[in-house]
């Protein structure tokens, strides 16, 4: 535990920018896009509840940045392999609840989706879906972190893609996720079931405005310190 708490040594500017992004409230509970691609490249799955495992709790969990590397239609189903990013805020686990903020976590990895009954790229409708595998790895201040699908429990859900107007589509989706976490290459510890819902990523413009505002506040603080000095 003491070793893990030393992870709080983190460069403030980078932490603030990462935390600013992951701390935003998700946009619409669906994604509007110009293609029928699944999963939506401009979407993110947000987990509503934290995951607390000794010695940490993960909150503001999101998976986004989908970039398909394989998209195959086989036996009447669509099978997708995609690159993605896993993001979360890390807190000390205090009696099963988030305690002291330790920093922001970003992991890269891959996910495998199956959309049952979707037999062509342009097919619209509602499809039962399953995330058959996901693996995310990275480091948090030098400590190895791994997140992967619990192989003993299926992560299932549903995805709907419908037309809004010519060449514009709305995608809504959810999954009941079963993940497990490894710290410092230790054994993977299963976490509780968590509900993940698809949202639009915040507009880049809104992120830029908040960053500009943050920089302005930082400049004001520096000026105040100089005057006091």
What is 64-77 written as a DSSP string?
EEEEEEEEEEETTE
Where do the domains of the chain lie? 2-11+27-203
Residue reference for tokens 């086989």 = 74
The per-residue pLDDT for range 19-57, each reduced to its tens digit, is 444 455 565 689 999 999 999 999 999 998 898 887 889
Cα–Cα distance for residue pair 171/196, rounded to 1 Å:
14
195-221 confidence digits (pLDDT tens): 999 999 876 544 444 444 444 444 544
Percentages of the chain per state (helix, strand, coil), in multiples of 5: 20, 55, 25
**SS3 category, 218:** helix
Q: What is the pLDDT of residues 114-166, one digit of tens each?
A: 999 999 999 999 999 999 999 999 999 889 999 999 999 999 999 999 999 99
Task: Give yes or no for a contact between 137 and 105, defined as CB atoms under 8 angstroms apart.
Answer: no
Q: Average of pLDDT values for 7-25? A: 42
For residues 71-84, average pLDDT? 98
pLDDT above 60 for 98: yes
Cα–Cα distance for residue pair 194/51, rounded to 1 Å: 8
Res 171 pLDDT > 50: yes
């Amino acid at each position: 535990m003491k070793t893990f708490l030393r992870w709080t040594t983190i460069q403030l500017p980078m932490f603030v920018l990462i935390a600013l992004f992951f701390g935003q409230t998700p946009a619409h509970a669906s994604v509007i896009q110009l293609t029928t691609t699944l999963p939506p490249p401009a979407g993110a799955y947000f987990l509503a509840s934290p995951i607390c495992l000794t010695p940490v709790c993960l909150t503001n969990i999101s998976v986004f940045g989908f970039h398909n590397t394989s998209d195959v239609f086989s036996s009447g189903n669509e099978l997708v392999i995609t690159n993605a990013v896993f993001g979360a805020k890390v807190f000390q686990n205090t009696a099963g609840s988030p305690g002291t903020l330790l920093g922001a976590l970003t992991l890269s990895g891959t996910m495998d989706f199956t959309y049952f009954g979707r037999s062509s790229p342009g097919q619209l409708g509602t499809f039962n879906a399953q995330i058959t595998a996901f693996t995310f790895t990275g480091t948090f201040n030098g400590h190895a972190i791994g997140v992967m699908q619990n192989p003993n429990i299926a992560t299932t859900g549903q995805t709907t893609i419908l037309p809004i107007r010519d060449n514009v589509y709305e995608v809504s989706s959810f999954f009941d996720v079963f993940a497990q976490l490894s710290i410092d290459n230790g054994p993977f510890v299963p976490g509780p079931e968590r509900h993940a819902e698809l949202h639009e990523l915040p507009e880049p413009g809104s992120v830029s405005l908040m960053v500009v505002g943050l920089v302005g506040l930082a400049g004001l603080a520096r000026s105040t310190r100089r005057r006091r000095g």
